Amino acid sequence: MKLPHLLSKSFILFLILSSQIAFSQATNRMLPSFPKNTKLYGNIPYANDTLKKHQLDIYIPANAKGNIPLVIWVHGGAWMLNDKYADMSYMKKTISAILDNGFALASIDYRFSTQAIFPAQIQDCNQAVEFLYQHASEYGFNKDQMALMGFSAGGHLASLLALSQNKEMHSFIAPQSKKSFTIKAVVDFYGPADFLAMVKPVNESTEKDAVSILLGASPIVRPDLAKIASPANYVDENDPPFLIIHGEKDASVPPAQSLLLSSWLTLSDVKNEVIIVKDAPHYGEMFDEPSIKDKIISFLKQELKK
């Protein structure tokens, strides 16, 4: 039986999206910091379940004409903290520039390592990006022009997702899910690249550090797991370009991690650039300075053909 005109599929979709906007505007704590009239679709379930950590937000710039490039935000927090709003509070200028320059922005949540160990986090990221790819036309962005931007643990996940996308890593894809998308560019803020290069001496190693909790075992005990979870392990000549940004005085993730990833990319003839921010710590407003913001926008425009 055909649906009446007022209950057509397109009309029902319009009602659903409208309700998402109204609810999300009331609950999203970061929206007041976004450019005026940014359209928000919030708390969208991407994994066909009710887990709060399986939700994402989509921000569409005011007056967007549709089919615009998409930047996907992957938050940090040692794989066990924060949510899809994290890192936004100190990156307000960059976020505004992304939207003001006609890019859509999506921010995704993923399960904490205290809930499920690796590869749950990369499975969630792949599933979220696949959802965005499959539903791009509904929200007005271009499924073939997607970039990742990740911070710390999110930088690790963004890099791992992009670098493993041309490998047959079935364990990185959630059961009953698939991968159809291609990531065109990555902005990696101080993400770990090689867990084996971060191994601590035996007398300093602990099962309670963030990497060990993520893997379910210390890297010094399970170097095989550490290698599988390390983005640098997947670099090849077919990888997308990278813009890598790291603080000179990062006490959580050594700047050498970003330099090492850059070296692997360079050896494989993958376009990349590293910016070491003088005197900067692990995170903060020093990464939102105009020179860095402008570099990010220029990179995204070039790689997403804006």
Summarised one tens digit per residue, pLDDT across range 42-86 is 999 999 999 999 999 999 999 999 999 999 999 999 999 999 999
Give the residue among 170, 167, 189, 190 at the shortest CA–CA distance from 178: 170
Beta carbons of 216 and 247 less than 8 angstroms apart: no
Mean pLDDT for the chain?
A: 92
Beta carbons of 233 and 225 less than 8 angstroms apart: no
Q: Which of 7-11, 22-26, 114-118 has the lowest mean pLDDT?
A: 7-11
What is the residue extent of each domain of the chain? 35-194+230-303
Q: What is the pLDDT of residue 207?
A: 62
Where would I find the beta strands (DSSP E) of 32-93?
39-45, 55-60, 68-74
Beta carbons of 72 and 130 less than 8 angstroms apart: no
Q: What is the pLDDT of residue 12?
A: 44
Of all residues in the chain, the percent with pLDDT exceeding 90 is 86
Q: What is the pLDDT of residue 305?
A: 83
208 pLDDT tier (thresholds 50, 70, 90) = confident
> What count of residues does the chain have?
306
Average pLDDT over residues 96-102: 98
Residue 6 has pLDDT above 50, yes or no: no
203 pLDDT tier (thresholds 50, 70, 90) = low
**What ranges in the chain are assigned the alpha helix state H?**
9-27, 92-100, 120-134, 136-139, 153-164, 210-215, 223-228, 255-267, 290-303
Distances from the Cα of 14 to the Cαs of 37, 46, 52, 64, in angstroms? 18, 18, 23, 17
Beta carbons of 127 and 174 less than 8 angstroms apart: yes
Paired tokens of 99:
């939207």
Distances from the Cα of 19 to the Cαs of 25, 30, 42, 116, 201, in angstroms? 10, 19, 10, 31, 53
Q: What is the pLDDT of residue 204?
A: 62
Q: Which of 24-28, 190-194, 275-279 has the lowest mean pLDDT?
A: 24-28
Instruction: Reduce the DSSP state of residue 162 to 3 states and report it.
Output: helix
Given the candidates 3.20.20.140, 3.30.420.40, 3.40.50.1820, 3.40.630.40, the CATH classification of the domain at 35-194+230-303 is 3.40.50.1820
5 pLDDT tier (thresholds 50, 70, 90) = very low
